[in-house]
Amino acid sequence: MSKHIPTIVLGSTGYVAAEIIGLLLNHPSFRIEAAISTSQAGNRIDEIFPHLIGPAGDLTFKSLDQISNLLASKRQTAIFSALPHGETAAFIQNLLQQSKTNAQIVDVSADFRYRTSDEYEAVYGKPHPAPELLSSFTCALPDITPSTPDTHIAHPGCFTTCVTLPLAGLFACDLIEPHVNVSAVTGSTGAGRQPGAGTHHPHRQSSMWAYQPLNHRHKPEMENLVAPWEPNAQVTFVPHSGPFARGIHATIFATLKSNSDSEAVIAQLQKFFEPSPFIRVGSKMPELKSIVGSNRCQIGIAVQGRQLVTTGIIDNLVKGAAGGAVQWMNRLFSLEETEGLLNATPGWI
């Protein structure tokens, strides 16, 4: 018999929150008790997200004070936080102080991705709003973290996810030198739901550009996450904005420690990722459309002597955020890691 775990989604009107809600509506174990939005409280979810007409039923957005009884209960609760960067920490601190609920939290913002307030301030240029909570969160990717932490979870960023997954395998197998170069392209949904010049269709369509080269905030996340296998990792990272809505395509250029070939590298990576149900490794360079809407990461490998090129692709909203968050929450509640994440996805978009 499936569990019915009461579930709350915070910051429920952004793109990632919409993906979380969509996944939860089709999940056999998590039941949405409240989708919190201060700006849309009282409005139907399917009015804001018409693609959820039907599955969302008559669910409405709620304000925080409407769920006080749930938060004050002794029941174990799943909380997905999709609040904006910089706002999450103070909100969750207040939530935990007011609530007696036995909650498991998975946060997709950047507020808890660093172990210390100094690291956070070095990246974001301002003090952390709730440094005493940092030790209560673990920043990790479920696919390369065999043991489930006994803390809340901070899901890494979308670029971080796409780049770190192949890098972790390459470093864990002791295949490559510490310095790698990465070029990655993301779709417009990576900039969030709030319209801006960089996401305006006439500007973005049929165009592409690099931004924050060598200085993107996800670079230190990548280096931190691969540190267990390569503490001296140095990632030279150049992100790009692409003329599509969803997905990330990352190309990694690395130097092998010794001459090899594609078959040998692929075999080692396939063995490393064997326990990971959402990772696929092969010689074919993956196509972005093949993973849009899914929780998969596909990795392609090409080798010439000591030169290695790896391509990794993910859906930035699913594997890079909402799907990874559900994957983590499954584990926190001792469910099958794949539960609610194996639905068929569109083949043509």
Residue-wise pLDDT tens digits, 203-216: 777 788 899 899 89
pLDDT of amino acid 197: 66
Residues in the chain predicted with pLDDT less than 70, given as ranges, are 1-2, 73-74, 98-101, 190-200
DSSP sequence for 274-337: TT-TTEEEESSPPPGGGTTTSS-EEEEEEEETTEEEEEEEE-TTIIIIIHHHHHHHHHHTT--T
pLDDT of amino acid 12: 75
- Tell me the two tokens of residue 349: 């978009």
pLDDT of amino acid 67: 74
**How far, rounded to the nearest angstrom, does the alpha carbon of residue 7 sit from its chain's CA centroid?**
19
Which structural domains are found in the chain, ordered by start?
Answer: 5-139 (3.40.50.720), 158-316 (3.30.360.10)
Does the pTM exceed 0.75? yes
Instruction: Using alpha carbons, select from 9, 96, 104 the residue that is nearest to residue 61.
Output: 9
Number of Cα atoms under 13 Å in the Cβ half of residue 297: 32
- What is the phi-psi region of residue 334: left when phi exceeds 0, alpha when psi lies from -120 to 50, beta otherwise? left
pLDDT of amino acid 1: 41
pLDDT of amino acid 347: 77
pLDDT of amino acid 101: 62
Active site residues: 158
> What pLDDT, in 10s, does the model give residues 43-83?
999 999 999 999 999 999 998 777 777 777 657 899 999 99
Question: Alpha-carbon distance 163 to 252, whole Å?
Answer: 8
pLDDT of amino acid 163: 98
